[in-house]
Structure formats: structure tokens, C-alpha cells
Amino acid sequence: MTDLLVALRKDLLLQWRGRAQIVAIFAFGAATLLLFSFAIGPDSVALREHAAGFLWLGLLLASTLSLAESFEREMEEQALEGLLLLPASARALYYGKAIANCAQLTLLGVALVPVMVVLYDAGTVRLLSLLGVILLGTAGLSAPGTLYAAMTAQTRARQTLLPLLLFPLVVPVLLAAVKATSLLILGDPMGQLRPWTSLLGAFAVVHWALGGLLFGRVVED
């Protein structure tokens, strides 16, 4: 647990020092939502119906920028190899990085919600439930995203390779997240929110467990 807390503190400090990049990623996500709204047109009903899908698409596209650079500092001057030589498990390093990435993506998702409300007129009073869905969805994205970011960190084309590897794997997570968010926005007369949220949580648990098991092999090869 101590190794995990130290790794998490290190990654949170790195993200804080690179906060200008977070602002740029948010601007990219907001611009993506704006372009999607232009594609739908002035139809307010259609905009509201598709708001959840566009929110998660914007978050997914923006997340690839932050995930691709999450191991950039560790690759400078072979810092990752130095971390692996420390008396700390590779699993603790992975979970520290994954939790930091999840926190960053959750913050990004929360920041994009007001943009969605303004552009798509898709507000909801169930803000805590929406926050929970965003947290579970970003957890399902950050766990495999962190693993694949470590795999592609040493490649020159990591900005291209990471989405190619990540997108097919997180399709079920996105479907569950979009459906749960849509139910919060449009209403849930059939009580479907809990099953979809449970499914989203199950995907997150599986991805985090597999990521912790496989990270050691990824960074040692």
C-alpha cells in the first residue's frame, strides 16, 4: 500500500506540473462536442437524444491524448527502468499511474458536462448519479489505456498505435457508459439504470484486475 501511495503521489505531481496540457485536452474535447453539434444541426430533440453518445466520444478522443503521454516522462533517460529497480512492485507502479489517469479523465468528463448542457440542452438533476457513471466509465477507459500506453511508450507512432489498440477493447465500456448517461438525461421509466451501471462496474473491475496482472510482463519485455 505504501508503494502504491508513493507512486500515486508521484503521478499526481507530474500531472499538476503539466496542467497546461490538461487545459489543452479539455479544449480539444469541447471542440469535439461543438463539431458534433454542428453535424446534427438545429434539431433540439435530436441533439438531446445523442448528447450522451457525443459526450463519451469526445471524452474518448480526448483521453487518447493524455494516455499516450502518460509514460513520456518515465521514458526520458530510462526513468522507467530505474523505477522498476526500486524495491516496489510493478503492480503498485501500474495502479498509481492508472488511478492518476482515472482522476484526470474524471475531471475532464465532469468539465465537459456543462459544455454538453449548453450545446445539447441535455441537463439532468441526478448529478451524483452522473458523476458515478463518469467515474466508472473513466475507470474502464484508464485501466486498459494505461496498460497500452506502457506497451506503446517506446514506439514513435504511439499517438496512432494507442487508439488502434484501445478502441476495440473499450467498446463495451463505451456502450454501457453511453446507455447509462442517456438514461440519466432522457429519463428511466423502466428502471434500466442499475443494470447498465452494474455492467459498467463489472467491466471496470475486469480491466483493472487484468491490467495489474499484465503490467509487469509489459514493462519487462
| Ranges of each domain in the chain | 2-220
CA-CA-CA-CA dihedral for 136, 35, 37, 20, to nearest 10: 50
CB proximity list for 68: less than 8 A, separation 6 or greater: 149, 152, 158, 159, 162
List C-alpha distances in Å: 158 to 21, 63, 71, 93, 122. 17, 13, 11, 20, 35
Confidence bin at 78 (pLDDT 50/70/90): low
In this model, does residue 150 exceed pLDDT 60? yes
Q: Give CA–CA dist 192/103, Å, rounded.
A: 27
Each residue's pLDDT tens digit, 33-43: 998 888 887 77
Each residue's pLDDT tens digit, 158-180: 677 888 888 888 999 999 999 99
CB 174 within 8 A of CB 205: no
Q: Give CA–CA dist 154/176, Å, rounded.
A: 32
Q: Give CA–CA dist 118/103, Å, rounded.
A: 24
Each residue's pLDDT tens digit, 90-141: 777 888 888 988 998 999 999 999 999 888 888 777 888 899 999 999 999 9
Q: Which of 50-64, 67-81, 111-125 has the lowest mean pLDDT?
A: 67-81
Helices (H) and strands (E) counted in the chain, each on its own, are: 9, 0
Each residue's pLDDT tens digit, 200-217: 999 999 999 988 888 777
